[in-house]
Structure 1
């Protein structure tokens, strides 16, 4: 009986986590485009930009970036307060250089 309770609890935690999962690239881009904040990007280019950012940026930076894309919140002050500003600048430069060959 105890094992069944643990399994049920674990299942419910997984479901709860899935319900609170971060929005996907598709969802983020759809919302950003619908809100008029995509800077002229279409869905495909936006999702490509998301993939490039996801591949290059560290988790702390991309969490703030993707939150800003989804909500429209200006997270630049929070990014500026992260440790390792040199690292962050290098990542954004790498991302910028990677966009043209990868996303056109």
Structure 2
């Protein structure tokens, strides 16, 4: 079982890698983290949006929330098409991330 600090460090590394890849200044939205018994759910966005919380600065796309599991440090990407509560419910019911995707039907 990982400590909360270890889970946070994994999340920071993940966001840093995404930041370097996209060449955007990305940060974890620390006030929007959700602590669960199985890990922590993180959201991230640009530093500018984090500082201003102005909708006009929320130009980042594809920044799906993610879980860092405290049992093994695995990162589970959630979706962006629905409210986060939906993805949490699906994950907790054991249906995420193993849900059939559109590509599975083609």
Q: Same fold (TM over 0.5)?
A: no
More helix by share: 1
Which structure has the higher relative contact order (CA within 8 Å, separation 6+)?
A: 1
Structure with higher Rg: it is 1
Larger strand percent: 2
Tell me the TM-score normalized by structure 2: 0.29
Q: TM-score, normalised by structure 1?
A: 0.29
